[in-house]
Amino acid sequence: MKTITRTLLTCLLAGICVAPVAAQDKAPAPAQALAPATEMPERIILNLTADTAHEMAVTWRTAPGIAGRIEYAIATPGPDFVKAPMTMAATTEDATVATEEDPAFRAAYHSAVLRNLQPDTVYAYRVGDGARWSEWFQFRTASQKAAPFRFLYLGDMQNQVLSQASRTLRMAFRTAGDVAFTIHAGDLINHHNADREWGEWFAAGSFLYAQTPQMPTPGNHEYGKDGAARAGSSVTDQWRHQFTLPENGPSGVPEATETHWYTDYQGLRLISIDSPQLDRNEQARAQTIAWLDALLARNPNRWTVIFLHFPLFSSDPDRDNPKVRAALKPLIDKYKVDLVLQGHDHGYARGAIGPQGPASDDAGATYVVSVAGPKMYDVAELDWARKTAARTQAYQIIDVDGDVLRYKAYTANGQPLDEVELRKP
């Protein structure tokens, strides 16, 4: 009975049914049938907007033909908040999505941006259609002023997301359940349009995604493999249906909407760079550089973090991204960016690099490569890295507190892996 209950719960959370696999069975799992979207809200997720103190974005999906509504209120110690919640209609799109399993998959995608919220306040919310509702979730808005907080950084989850990558994410929340948000450095899944894989990604985080904003940047596996930056890509299909991210990227690069973006959070400027698009699209590259230059030049925040998928400096001896490095590193050096957080190379490396090359921690930007999932690559001996680790799933907790930024990395089983403290004079 317990086995049946656990299997049923997995199906309900993921929108897929996956048969248990013995730990020693290394054969590829058979393709799973695509489960239809349900009448109940599923894949509920929070995203930050550009105004983190006064707004929060909520996205979910249901079966097609169902309306979307959201109820929300300032959370109270007891249940009284449910008596008179505020309500609003979601933006709903009954969409046909070309998935790997079904070229005409149908679902209703709902999104709502809650506005005019009070800063530094806990809100409760639920989503549904007026008759069928999710449970109540809670989130906290940002403070309007610089204030201490922490966030979580994950590299690629990508492979065996529910069965193996999930442990990294969940251990991170055991270590620091009070993180303000999570950033994902691309390759959330392996096949850009495989809805069963997106189902695994949402099941891996489950209610955590609905209470803590998730902020992804796309990797190459969020694109099709036809060589074009957009054709056949989940970035223009499932990506924008499933996330509601800031729409403040380069004005001359409309295809980068919700992939290049930035937001400010309590003294930190966080910038997502769509590195596959930057690598492949020469015309957009110059406009992206100009956008980033302006963002860094007019930055009122104490700290700056850029995150992207393709590393400027690789941990794998056979991989390199010279176009991305040439585009970004001059600006990173010019404006003294503090952290550059990356994925793609399926290993761990951390070190500081300045205009002249490898540097001390206070003389250059700190670059990190990390992986959350079980797929592993070789890690080279690196002249720029102060710490490396091969065949290691990891998560990173970053604390921002006034003039100090503390970076700590942990292995997937919760053991300390690496740390560095950065200070502003």
Which residues form the domain of 210?
149-423
Residue 413 lies in a domain: yes
Which tens digit of pLDDT belongs to each residue from 322-365? Answer: 999 999 999 999 999 999 999 999 999 999 999 999 999 989 99
Residue 194 lies in a domain: yes
Position 414 scores a pLDDT of 98
Q: Are residues 232 and 320 in the same domain?
A: yes
Position 226 scores a pLDDT of 56
Q: Are residues 59 and 180 in the same domain?
A: no
Q: What is the pTM of this model?
A: 0.91
Q: Are residues 114 and 185 in the same domain?
A: no
The pLDDT confidence band at residue 234, using thresholds 50, 70 and 90, is low
Which tens digit of pLDDT belongs to each residue from 368-394? Answer: 999 999 999 999 999 999 999 999 999
Mean pLDDT on 279-287: 88
- Give the Cα separation of 260 and 366 in Å (integer): 21
Residue 359 lies in a domain: yes
Residue 2 lies in a domain: no
Q: Are residues 213 and 108 in the same domain?
A: no
Is it the case that residue 17 has pLDDT exceeding 80? no
Mean pLDDT on 217-244: 75
Percent of the chain with pLDDT over 70: 90
CB 190 within 8 A of CB 163: no
Is it the case that residue 14 has pLDDT exceeding 60? no
Is it the case that residue 247 has pLDDT exceeding 50? yes
Residue 29 lies in a domain: no
CATH of the domain at 102: 2.60.40.380
Which tens digit of pLDDT belongs to each residue from 302-334? Answer: 999 999 999 999 999 889 999 999 999 999 999
| Domain-ending residue, one of 118, 140, 162 | 140
Buried b (16+ CB within 10 A) or exposed e, 262-298: bbbbbbbbbbbbbbbbbbbbeebbebbbebbeebbee
CB 262 within 8 A of CB 248: yes
Residue 34 lies in a domain: no
Alpha carbon of residue 199 to chain centroid: 15
Q: Does residue 313 or residue 15 have the better pLDDT?
A: 313
